Amino acid sequence: MKIGYLGPKGTFSFQVAKKYYKSAELVEFNTILEVIIGLKNEEIDEAVVPIENSIQGGVTETIDAIIENDGIFVNKEIKMKINQNLLANKKYKLNEIKELYSHPQAIAQCRKYIDQNLKNAKIIKVSSTAFAAKEITQKDYCACIANISCLEEYGLQLLGKNIQDNDFNTTKFWILSKREINNGNKMSLIFSTKHKPGALYQVLGVFNKNQINLTKIESRPAKTKLGEYIFLVDLDINENINKVMQELNNECNYLKVLGRYEEI
């Protein structure tokens, strides 16, 4: 079985993939969109993608790629605590660091630490924390923010451990495939509302009167004009779910089930 993830080796997605799949072949991609298109084109059987972080919020690249590509289903949810670290190729002092490489979300997660300790560093945003680690292996006076597995993977030195601003830093990952497994107590949907005042309230009313608890609601632009949105909701299933789906079909302009699944 082939599993796609946002590479290179050493990303948080890679860590999740290694932990969840003991013996599968891991296939790296350069962007989250490429992971999902790889799944659609059957280059891989399943994919591990980050969907939400407790500090940065929804991973919009993942959400938009799932909205735009039909036939992709959520099979499992996995949560992972995120610890960020400052790594470099030698044991520099913090004020010697001239360039800091990392993914924009990791930089945002360590904003206070950077402001206090790395005032002389130019910030260079790259596509993943592991790519940042790979990038600095030959660069003197440069550092990266990455997960601890990159220390060994790329032969780096530890300059700062657990440097994230907020210790409640958890990322939720989804395992995606082209199969709808339809099993578990969670469900994710995307929908757009009718164009009338109170339309979102009407849709939420369907969940409310059927005692369905929404655990998350997120809006994404419909990409047509300002003020039109697609909503992504996560919910806990109960015995009313089939009735809810019928009622939602009447209330929504557009409705798609991303999957029924469980957390592992």
Binding footprint of a second copy on the chain (CB under 8 A): 33, 52-57, 60-61, 79, 104, 108, 111, 123-127, 166, 168, 170, 172, 197-198, 200-201, 204-205, 207-208, 211, 213-221, 223-227, 229
Distance, in Å, from the CA atom of 127 to the CA atom of 143, rounded to the nearest integer, reads 15
- Between 90 and 122, whose beta carbon lies closer to a second copy? 122
Amino acid at position 184, single letter: G
Tokens 């890679």 -> residue? 14
Least distance CB 111 / a second copy (angstroms): 7
Q: Which of 52, 161, 48, 53 is nearest to 109 (CA)?
A: 53
| Closest distance to a second copy from the beta carbon of 207 (Å) | 7
Q: Which is nearer to a second copy, 3 or 59 (CB)?
A: 59
Query: CA neighbours within 13 Å on the CB side: how many for 102?
Result: 26
User: Of the two residues 57 and 155, which places its CB atom closer to a second copy in the complex?
Assistant: 57
In angstroms, what is the minimal distance from the CB of 168 to a second copy?
5
Identify the residue whose tokens are 């995307």.
Answer: 190
Output the CA torsion 254→58→126→31 (10° steps): -40
The distance of closest approach from Cβ of residue 224 to a second copy in the complex, given in angstroms and rounded to an integer, is: 5
**Token pair for residue 50?**
């980050």
Nearer to a second copy, 53 or 75 (CB): 53
